[in-house]
Amino acid sequence: MDDTDCTHGRFSPDNWQFGGRGMPQLCKALQKIALIIPYRNRDKHLKTWLHYMHPFLQKQQGDYGIYVVEQVEDSTFNRAKLMNVGFTEASKDYHYDCFIFSDVDIILMDERNLYRCSQNPKHMANSLDKFNFRLPYQTLFGGIVAFTKEQFLKVNGFSNLFWGWGGEDDELYNRVVAAGMKVERPNPNISRSRVLTHPRDPGNEETRMSLHLINKAAQFMHEDGLNSLKYEIVSHTKHKLFTKITVNIGSSQQ
Ligand code: BGN
């Protein structure tokens, strides 16, 4: 699934579309990639991410679109549910076949680390400066993960039940294993990445129910996820560098 027919491409302004869509000019990319970024109140990080990552994606000859999914109301943040919304909405926009779910604060440092999907779900944030470029534990699956459409449907997406910080990525890891897939990782020498520092966001306090949910992934993954996702779109706007989807996803009380 590499883009061998796309190595001699070149970008020009003609190959740029509003909504943060880029595509190579002289070749046809084999994968159509949607980058999904969960978001709330991180304007500075978003600007930095876009500044570094658009040229990065273009040098990699990506046929891609960037989707920033913003949670509106004051309720506790739900990163995983925003990812599911991004997947669903981006799929209506274009026939994407690869989805890269990324935090807004991780900047890849090496262009050999391809924003592409693989034979198995891929954990791309396996070499972060904040963890001294090592995996803090073997099943870490946070930060940036890449799924083909089929792989993501097979696990029924993320759980919708993780309100607050932590655990939703561990639960997704268990879904991948329960679905008979394994996690791939790039060579840590080329996947070195920088994390933009910030204090814990208000409204994203550490979740308390996660351990229980993480261990039940295999049991509940087919009823909690994409097929049980409920949300209301507040706005869907194509900006120059990204498509912004503002969404009401409810709260943990509902
Ligand atoms: C773990 C978090 C992950 C996070 C990593 C790295 C939990 C679940 C505890 C039962 N897991 O501790 O979500 O990606 O740290 O920061 O909080």
**What is the residue with the minimal CA distance to atom 12 of ligand 1?**
166
Report which of 101, 41, 66, 33 is spatially closest to residue 243, judged by C-alpha positions.
66
Report which of 9, 2, 38, 27 is spatially closest to residue 169, judged by C-alpha positions.
38
**What is the residue with the minimal CA distance to atom 11 of ligand 1?**
167
Ligand 1, CB within 6 Å, residue ranges: 142, 166-167, 169-170, 210-211
Under 8 Å CB-to-CB from 29, ≥6 apart: which residues?
3, 6, 9, 23, 61, 62, 63
Pick the CATH number of 27-248 from 1.10.10.10, 3.10.20.30, 3.90.550.10, 3.40.640.10: 3.90.550.10
Q: What are the tens digits of pLDDT across the range 168-211?
A: 999 999 999 999 999 999 999 999 999 998 888 888 888 876 78
CA gap 32, 175 in Å, rounded: 24
Q: Is 99 left (phi over 0), alpha (psi -120 to 50) or beta?
A: beta
Q: What are the tens digits of pLDDT across the range 4-30?
A: 456 555 666 567 788 999 998 888 889
Q: Is 103 left (phi over 0), alpha (psi -120 to 50) or beta?
A: beta
Domains of the chain by residue range: 27-248
Q: What are the tens digits of pLDDT across the range 45-82?
A: 999 999 999 999 998 989 999 999 999 977 899 999 99
Choosing from 162, 170, 209 the residue with most ligand 1 atoms within 8 A of its CB, the one to mutate for a pocket test is: 170
Q: What are the tens digits of pLDDT across the range 106-126?
A: 999 999 999 999 999 999 999
